[in-house]
Amino acid sequence: MTEQKNTQAVGMAFMGMIFFLFGFVTTFNITLADKFKAVFDLSDFQAQLVNGAFFFTYFVLSFTAGGIIKKIGYKGGVILGLLLIAVGSFLFFPAAKALSFPFFLFAIFIMAGGVVFLQVAANPYVTALGPSETASGRLNLTQALNSIATYIAPIIAGVFVFKTTADYALSAAEAAESVPTPFLIIAIVVIVIAVAVYLLKLPVIPTKGVEKKSVWKYPHVILGAVGIFCYVGAEVGSAAMLQRYFQEALQIARSDAAMMIALYWGGAMVGRFYGSFMLSNVEKSKKYIYTVLVIALAIFVGWFVRYQITDGLIFGGIALVNYLAMQLGRGNASRSLAVFGIIAALLLIVVMSVSGPIILWVGLSIGFFNSIMFPNIFALGVDGLDKGELSMASGLINSLIVGGAVVPVLMGLIADGFGVRFAFILPVICYLYIVFFALVGSKHK
């Protein structure tokens, strides 16, 4: 028993590191859309092709990645994913030299291919590292670690990438030169991690020896995949357009908007820490202690971006509201998902309907209610499957992360034609579908 717990601990530590890595890479790329808009003088639609190139990779590779991982194992899939990220990162250098937007998109596509392998391997790995009834809690914990990276990435982009174009009049060539440097660091780090993973003895999750069964006969898997499409599309599209909307409606600099959007992702981090113990079998007394610690973390996160205590207190207050909303879920994954979907939709309607500084904090608070969506949708979507079916189900579900390509691009078209404010209609529809999945679609037929 002790050996099994140690094995699970090693596996969870390893997964935490992987989730952090692909969270950073994903959000750093999402943040770059506005950078490329400035460098290449793009429309909103063209700028969102950055997200399109990244998330379209999931549609192209996820199901195939599931089949490959079934053959080479989860560990082999992780190593392959890390190496693809390194290759894509190195490609940013010739793309900057050529000053070619399509070349940048190709580099992003390759990099995203690596993230796909990590994502497809990581999620079922976590669900298989313990009892199914606490799978949602484990996924929320690893997603919380993922969210630490998504919180840090926009801050780093705001300091080291956006400052070069926001505050100085640089040529496109000079501005593009600031993009590759962070990716060189990413490439070196992931190569080191790939070597470490190869040398480590990690828990083995079986991928063979189970009779092959089609996941298409499970309606909750298919509806869960659509739920992931809607969630990722809504999350990525809202983040990208909020960054644009803050600049337009509040008249703030591009670099400041990029920095503030870090709090959108920081809210997701805080909410996932809540989910990691609220949706698990942690003792009730410990849950209260953890709640106080998470609210303290939220105050620090809110303060850290602009070093203003007012920001910290507001962010901590939103975190308390998020905690109270989670109580409505009563520790149930589907009920909690429905509550958060309703609140996220209502917050976006408020953003569309009002004007003035209030839209900043209402918009940023949406991140809190995105927090548990991915892990809960995934856990509900694969609930009841055999371990041998997990890789293929994960491939199907992750292929519809392509929502992060489709929804933001469509939002870009709406923004070009009718204004940024009206683009938020699409994520509202996405959140309403998630409510349907939570209450109806996740039930086993």
For position 133, what pLDDT does the model report? Answer: 67
Identify the residue whose tokens are 């992360």: 401
For residues 364 and 268, what is the distance between their CA atoms, to the nearest angstrom? 10
For residues 194 and 75, what is the distance between their CA atoms, to the nearest angstrom? 10
Interval 195-234: pLDDT, tens = 888 887 766 666 665 555 677 788 889 999 999 999 999 9
Model pTM above 0.95: no
Residue 420 CB partners (closer than 8 Å, separation 6+): 44, 241, 244, 245, 248, 249
Interval 16-26: pLDDT, tens = 888 888 888 88
For position 306, what pLDDT does the model report? Answer: 86
Per the CB < 8 A criterion, the answer to whether 258 and 153 are in contact is no
**DSSP codes of every residue in 131-197:** -GGGHHHHHHHHHHHHHHHHHHHHHHHIIIIIHHHHSS---HHHHHTTSHHHHHHHHHHHHHHHHHH
Low-confidence ranges of the chain (pLDDT < 70): 1-8, 132-137, 140, 158-179, 202-213, 279-280, 387-388, 391, 445
For the chain, helix (H) and strand (E) counts, in that order, are 20, 0
What is the residue range of 354's domain? 2-441
For position 167, what pLDDT does the model report? Answer: 42
CATH number of the domain enclosing 11 = 1.20.1250.20
Secondary structure of the chain: what % helix, strand, coil (to 5)?
Answer: 85, 0, 15
Per the CB < 8 A criterion, the answer to whether 175 and 192 are in contact is no
Helix pair 101-127, 2-40: axis angle to 10 deg: 160
Identify the residue whose tokens are 């195939």: 64
Q: Which of 312, 278, 277, 286 is nearest to 298 (CA)?
A: 312
Per the CB < 8 A criterion, the answer to whether 227 and 430 are in contact is no
For position 168, what pLDDT does the model report? Answer: 44
For position 7, what pLDDT does the model report? Answer: 61
Task: Count the domains in the chain.
Answer: 1
Tokens of 3: 């050996």
Distances (CA, A) of 361 to 163, 234, 285, 355: 23, 18, 31, 12
Largest pairwise CA distance in the chain:
63
Residue 272 CB partners (closer than 8 Å, separation 6+): 140, 141, 143, 144, 146, 147, 371, 372, 375
